[in-house]
Amino acid sequence: MTTPTIERTTTAFLDGEDSIEIDNIIHSTEGATKFGFSGALVGGVTVYSWAVPALIEALGEDWLDSGWIDFRLRRPVYPGDEITTRVMPSDGGVEFTMAKESGEVCIAGTAGLGEADFYADLAVAQNRNPVPPADPPTLLTPQNLPIGEDLPAMAVPMTLADAAAYADQFARDPHPRWRGDAARLHPGWIAGRCVRLTKHTYSYPAGIHAGSQIQMLGPARAGQTLTVSGHVTDGYRRKQHEYCLLDVTISDETGRDLACLRHRTIYQVGGG
């Protein structure tokens, strides 16, 4: 690939209310400081969403329909941080980093077109019949993490207005591709469905996005009700944190798969 290095800078902002009452207290100042952080953490999928314009510039519009991405979150991002996305050509696609002014890398990964090497390893849930959310949800613990099992699927109505609202409020991306009668679903929104699927059944007070692998399989458009299904692939403990690996499939109203994802999340944060 001969694409030159692309850089874009964003001033980080908190992607929700700074309140201990939110469903993930790590994204509030009061909650995050309980775990030793200096302030509220910006959501990982929100930070990732800021890289999307540079990735599209490097890989083209086709990346949204048949591309892939594999990234890890290395350091927390706080409101006010100046984050520079740098996309560089590499064999088979691009490498990218998102770093602070100090040079500290917050996110690093690779992306490309076509089928990713990891795609064949992603589990596909057999249970795709949406059910209402659990009321009340069950507290997720290492003892009840359903490793090797499907999660209850959920239906997600996604209107054209919802697509535009995500682009405005989280990605802050004014491009018309996220708006209008043919509005696309933003990759940041797609990545965020994994946590929402977990919380369709379970609760946990504080969580941290640790990484994602995403394979796009077709054009993902707003203006329809999507089905989100998932399979818990693994769970483990590392550095006092409890991790969950969740493989998720997003399908359209015809049953066509639009995206397959593996989401790595810390659902019990150590140090609190």
Alpha-carbon span 205 to 200, nearest angstrom: 14
Query: Is the pLDDT score of 2 beyond 70?
Result: no
The predicted-structure confidence for 129-156, as pLDDT tens digits, reads as follows: 999 999 999 999 999 999 999 999 999 9
Give the integer Cα–Cα distance in Å for 92 and 103. Answer: 26
Task: Identify which of 248, 195, 261, 250 has the alpha carbon closest to the alpha carbon of residue 222.
Answer: 250
Phi, psi of 263 (to 5 degrees): -115, 125
Residue 272 pLDDT more than 90?
no
**Domain annotation for the chain: domains and CATH numbers:** 6-268 (3.10.129.10)
Does the pLDDT value for residue 244 go beyond 60? yes
Angle subtended at Cα 15 by Cα 158 and Cα 160, rounded to the nearest 5 degrees: 20
Sorted by sequence, the CB contacts under 8 Å of residue 35 that are 6+ apart come out as 26, 206, 269, 270, 271, 272
Round the average pLDDT of the chain to a whole number and report it. Answer: 96
Q: Are strands 241-251 and 257-268 parallel, antiparallel or unpaired?
A: antiparallel
Q: What percent of the chain has pLDDT over 70?
A: 98
Task: Please report the pLDDT score of residue 1 as a whole number.
Answer: 42
Q: What pLDDT digit, counting tens, does each position of 149-183 carry?
A: 999 999 999 999 999 999 999 999 999 999 999 99
Residue bearing tokens 């990484």 = 211
Q: How confident is the model at residue 3 (pLDDT cuts 50, 70, 90)?
A: low
Strand, helix or coil at 189? Answer: helix
Parallel, antiparallel, or unpaired: how do β-strands 138-139 and 202-203 relate? parallel
Which has the higher per-residue pLDDT, 71 or 1? 71
Q: Which two tokens stand for residue 114?
A: 């076509």
Which pLDDT tens digit goes with each residue over 24-77? 999 999 999 999 999 999 999 999 999 999 999 999 999 999 999 999 999 999
- d(CA 214, CA 165) in angstroms, rounded, equals 22
Contact 224, 83 (CB under 8 A): no
Q: Would you say 243 and 269 are in contact if contact means Cβ atoms under 8 Å apart?
A: no
pLDDT of residue 4: 87
Q: Which residues contact 134 (CB under 8 A, 6 or more apart)?
A: 152, 200, 201, 202
Contact status, residue 113 vs residue 59, Cβ threshold 8 Å: yes
The predicted model scores a pTM of 0.96
Residue 92: the pLDDT is: 86
Cα–Cα distance between 157 and 173 in angstroms, integer?
A: 22
* Residue closest to 123 by CA, chosen among 146, 100, 91: 146
Facing residues of 262 across strands?
213, 247
